[in-house]
Structure 1
Amino acid sequence: MQETEEKVVDANQVIRSHMMWSMGAGLIPVPVADIFAVSAIQLDMVRQLCKIYEVDYKETELKAVVSSLAGSIVAKAGARVLKFIPGVGAMIGGMTLAILSGGSTYALGEVFKKHFETGGTFLDFDPARLRKMYDEMFEKGKKYAREIRVKEVQEAEELIQTESSITEIEKEQSSNASEDVVGKLKDLGRLKEEGLLTDEEFAKLKKRLIED
């Protein structure tokens, strides 16, 4: 029982990490290159799931099964077309494909995890039978990916706001420091005028204030 739970935990970690990597690959600004990157990430994920559940596989079988389930989702995404449009089109296309890639990877991982948990192998893996589960997990994965993207955007905005606040504080501190130096120079000037400081002493103190 404990071994099974450990496998589930390990599998979930593998799925999540590869989902995140797929989303990052979906943001690659070069059309086609992003598709190859996502496919490679998904294949690596399934290999790791096979290792966790001790399932033997052949590379040709692995690629065929993965392609039959997930290949068409990302490859046919309309976001690829948008990426050819400079500026906003490329940005929107990348964001859309990132969500689709993340959702597809999540769905693929969940399908293989469930199949392997029940003792399944590549010999009895039926893409047609598991298509419904994949589609359901794909919708769930897209929602999950959107939530991740929203959180990332919020964190980025908070970071920008924090950096902006720090800059304002530094400007204010710099302004206050400048005003403080000016005030002290005026004080030195008055002391010199009153004969309490010699020209040499005034020059030394003035230099020290400016340098500090």
Structure 2
Amino acid sequence: MADKSTQADRVIDNHILWSMGAGALPIPIVDVAAVTAIQLNMLKELCLIYDVDYSDGFGKNLISSIVGAGVAKVGASAVKTIPVVGALLGGVPMVVLSGASTYALGQVFKSQLQVTTVLSKFDMSGAKEMYKDAFEKGKQYVKDLRDRVGFGEKPGTPEADDNKGDQTDGKKDSDNSADSKQTTGDDAVFEKLRILGDLRDKGILTEDEFQQKKQKILAQL
């Protein structure tokens, strides 16, 4: 039976690969939005493993606070606006930067979730410092992981519904913003069950672990 740390490492590696795939998207800015959605999904799954309640709004603020303005990622994305050459030059660094950023965030999330049961109690100062160090290590880790798994074959993509609203017109975003941010208690429970099922299907959780966590989540209904 895999322990929580091993389960967390698998989740992080999966999301690094997804981030690398998203970073290779030839459309400027969209790649950054896709990577952010993947990183949010990673935080959701890690919170479930460590039995920590997840908040979508806080998760977005947390990533923004730790990563900062994301100058490196946006810079690599912006290069893609240069016709032909931009897609070639921008794609390569964006793949590495996206994977390294996800690796670094994964290490920060894992470290913090191991010592706190409340998302809002993250040590932000320590998290930012750890992110900077892990980001540099992540560049090499990404290259090693890519070689290890034969990057190029697309793994399954996590749900990125948060990103869909960005593709609609401004009116729809305005009309639906209030509804999209309101989640009932039951909806939150069902979302946890969905993520739990994904973790089992990916082999990160055993059937016994799935059933144990499922019962704990259903008790919240």
Does TM-score exceed 0.5, indicating one fold?
yes
Gaps of 5+ in 2: 154-221
* Correspondence 1:37 to 2:22: no
Find the counterpart in structure 2 of residue 73 from structure 1: 70
Q: Does 1:90 align with 2:66?
A: no
Distance 1:126 1:118 in 2: 10
* CA distance 1:123–1:151, shift in 2 (3 Å): closer
Distance 1:71 1:47, change over 3 A: farther
Report the counterpart of residue 109 of structure 2 in structure 1. Answer: 112
Q: Per chain length, whose mean CA-contact separation is higher, i.e. which structure has more relative contact order (CA < 8 Å, sep 6+)?
A: 2
1:149 Cα offset (Å): 4.9
Per-residue displacement from partner, 1:78-99 (whole Å, max 9, x unpaired)? 2122101222321120110111
* In structure 2, distance between residues paired with 1:112 and 1:121: 12
Unpaired stretches in structure 1, ≥5 consecutive residues: 157-212
- 1:1-212 aligned at under 5 Å gives the runs 6-70=3-67, 72-73=69-70, 76-149=73-146
Aligned pair in 2 of structure 1 residues 69, 46: CA closer, same or farther (>3 Å)?
same
Residues 74/20 of structure 1: CA separation in 2 closer, same or farther (3 Å cut): farther
Bigger radius of gyration among the two: 1
Task: Note the C-alpha offset of 1:111.
Answer: 0.5
The one-letter amino acid paired with 1:19 is I
More helix by share: 1
Q: Please report the TM-score for the alignment, with normalisation by the length of structure 1.
A: 0.65
Q: Quick one: structure 1 residues 77 and 119, their matched pair in 2 at CA, closer, same or farther if it must change by over 3 Å? A: same
Task: Give the alignment's TM-score, normalised by structure 2.
Answer: 0.62
